[in-house]
Amino acid sequence: MILYNSLTRKKEEFVPLTPGEVKMYVCGPTVYNYFHIGNGRTFIVFDTIRRYFEYRGYKVNFVQNFTDIDDKMIKKANEEGTTVACVGDKYIDEYYKDADGLNIKRASTNPRATEFVQDIIDFISGLIEKGYAYEVAGDVYFRTKKFDGYGKLIKQSIEDLQSGARINIDERKEDPIDFALWKAQKPGEPAWESPWGLGRPGWHIECSCMAKKLLGETIDIHAGGMDLAFPHHENEIAQSEALTGKTFANYWMHSAYLNVNNEKMSKSLNNFLTAREALKNYDADVIRFLMLSAHYRVQLNFSGELLDSAKASVERLYNAVANLENLIDEVKKDKMDEKEEEYLKSLDVYRQKYIDKMDDDFNTADAITAIFDLIRDINSNINIESSKELCEKALELIRELGGPLGMLQKSTKGSLEEEIERLIEERQQARKDRNFALADKIRDDLKARNIILEDTPQGVRWKKVN
């Protein structure tokens, strides 16, 4: 498999640290609010990548953290007259509801930063011992200049970064680009005991520490949204590699923004749609289709029209599923004959095309095209004359290719029953209106689908016959 490594800015062959395994860390949400579908894009993208690794036979240890202590969390707790821990508990619960709603697989571990404070303190102490960090009045800063290679992720020299940072000169720091590892407590803030007095961890150190603790000193893939590359990921590399002397992550992956009117969807710009709201009107398959219809490194401009067109596309895909599900119930032949076996084999080209596209840096857009091609072929070649076995195998293949995308796993069966009930009601109405031609037509159409209506004293019943 090939993936684009943000660190080298090249597509590279994926070579895991341990054959057959992927150790992957994705920066998760700060849990002070419902997440929006911009965050959702990043979660869906890396969920898909994880699922695809699993599809290709890898065992994936997938860690996605919750940032449950920072300025925004403290502000929210003050606004709501509650504690930071309560805000965290609440929005972690809400995260799971929405992530489950979007069919995002649960991570192997979802660590909360506040559960790792002692490990973070140990990490920072290690950096101080090695001369990579210093304390000033209860704060601890990373001594950036001492770390060779600072700027290697964003490809900027330390001098450029220094001149960029000069605007925010902070007297306490040795250098404007030094960043906080530990923050001394301010009045009203939650705090933990540490060798530097009461305080709390900085954001960057949390991820470095949790990745090391849960996945090891060197991991395969570290990922997050594009906005995290600098300074968050750059700082993570500096802290981790300064402490261990080892490469922190072999591959860095960044997903592009979901935009609105060509601006990043974000809470601060107030141009967001929460996942919760989106899920009220659109199915998870539709939202995932929208996100995965573009390559993950290409920005995607969100609009209502785009969502509606994703809905229409997903309907086309599910029509094929419904068609096969109906055929499975209705066809007369059981087993495939030789010709059908050959036909089924011919469908392998779509699986191969799909794999080729996904193996090439997770090109979900082209992989979806391969699924459409498969469906077109199935629609024009599988029909009431086909065998049940062929219909089942074709449906299995659609579901197989939908699996890594987290799509196309639902049955349309429930909706078939609803459809029949609806048609029966329509027929009753037609009879009341003395429109017997329409009533008969509805009955005959259903009969053609092997559904027989029976008028009983208790009302209309239906049954399926073969």
Binding residues for ligand AMP, rule CB under 6 A, total 16
Min separation Cβ 158 and ligand AMP, Å: 24
Nearer to ligand AMP, 298 or 349 (CB): 298
Task: Please calculate the CA angle 269-101-394 and round it to the nearest 5 degrees.
Answer: 125
By CB under 6 A, tell whether 39 contacts ligand AMP.
yes
Applying CB under 5 A, which part among 7-15, 173-181, 206-214, 454-462 lies near Zn ion?
206-214
Q: How far apart are CA 240 and CA 217, in angstroms?
A: 8
Residues 265-294 that bind ligand AMP (CB under 6 A): 265-266
Nearer to ligand AMP, 32 or 142 (CB): 32
State the binding partner of 29 from ligand AMP, Zn ion, none, CB within 5 to 8 A by kind. Answer: ligand AMP
Q: How far apart are CA 30 and CA 452, in angstroms?
A: 55
Nearer to Zn ion, 207 or 242 (CB): 207
State the binding partner of 207 from ligand AMP, Zn ion, none, CB within 5 to 8 A by kind. Answer: Zn ion
Nearer to ligand AMP, 46 or 318 (CB): 46
State the binding partner of 38 from ligand AMP, Zn ion, none, CB within 5 to 8 A by kind. Answer: ligand AMP
Q: Which one among 184, 243, 258, 401 touches ligand AMP, defined by CB under 6 A?
A: 258
Residue 9 CB contacts under 8 Å (≥ 6 apart), including other chains: 155
Cα separation values, 41 from 2, 255, 292, 351, Å: 21, 8, 8, 25
Residue 142 CB contacts under 8 Å (≥ 6 apart), including other chains: 127, 132, 133, 178, 179, 180, 181, 235, 238, 239, 242
**How many helices and strands in the chain, by DSSP H and E?**
16, 15
Residue 249, H or E segment: strand 249-255
By CB under 5 A, tell whether 207 contacts Zn ion.
yes
Min separation Cβ 260 and ligand AMP, Å: 8
Q: How far apart are CA 322 and CA 326, in angstroms?
A: 6
Q: Which residue has the tokens 């997440």?
A: 35
Whether the link from the prior residue into 16 is cis, omega within 30° of 0, is no
Tokens (6 digits) for 179: 């960043």
By CB under 5 A, tell whether 60 contacts Zn ion.
no
How many other β-carbons are positioned within 10 Å of the β-carbon of residue 137?
8
Q: How far apart are CA 134 and CA 144, in angstroms?
A: 11
Is 233 marked as a binding-site residue?
no
Q: Which one among 50, 222, 233, 264 touches ligand AMP, defined by CB under 6 A?
A: 264
* Binding-residue pattern over the window 17 to 36 for ligand AMP, x denoting contact by CB under 6 A: ----------x-xx------
By CB under 6 A, tell whether 222 contacts ligand AMP.
no
Is 391 marked as a binding-site residue?
no
By CB under 6 A, tell whether 38 contacts ligand AMP.
yes
Residues 3-42 that bind Zn ion (CB under 5 A): 27
Is 425 marked as a binding-site residue?
no
State the binding partner of 227 from ligand AMP, Zn ion, none, CB within 5 to 8 A by kind. Answer: ligand AMP
Nearer to Zn ion, 208 or 364 (CB): 208
Min separation Cβ 223 and ligand AMP, Å: 8
How many other β-carbons are positioned within 10 Å of the β-carbon of residue 180?
22
Query: What crossing angle do the helices spanning 364-381 and 304-330 adopt, rounded to 10°?
Result: 40
Residues 421-450 that bind ligand AMP (CB under 6 A): none
> At 217, phi and psi to the nearest 5?
-70, -35
Residue 108's nearest CA partner among 251, 219, 228, 238 is 219
Binding site members for ATP:
267
Sequence ranges of the binding site: 27, 207, 232, 236, 267
- Contact residues: ligand AMP, CB under 6 A: 27, 29-30, 38-39, 41-42, 224-225, 227-228, 257-258, 264-266
Residue ranges of the annotated binding site for Zn(2+) are 27, 207, 232, 236
* Contacting positions for Zn ion (CB under 5 A): 27, 207
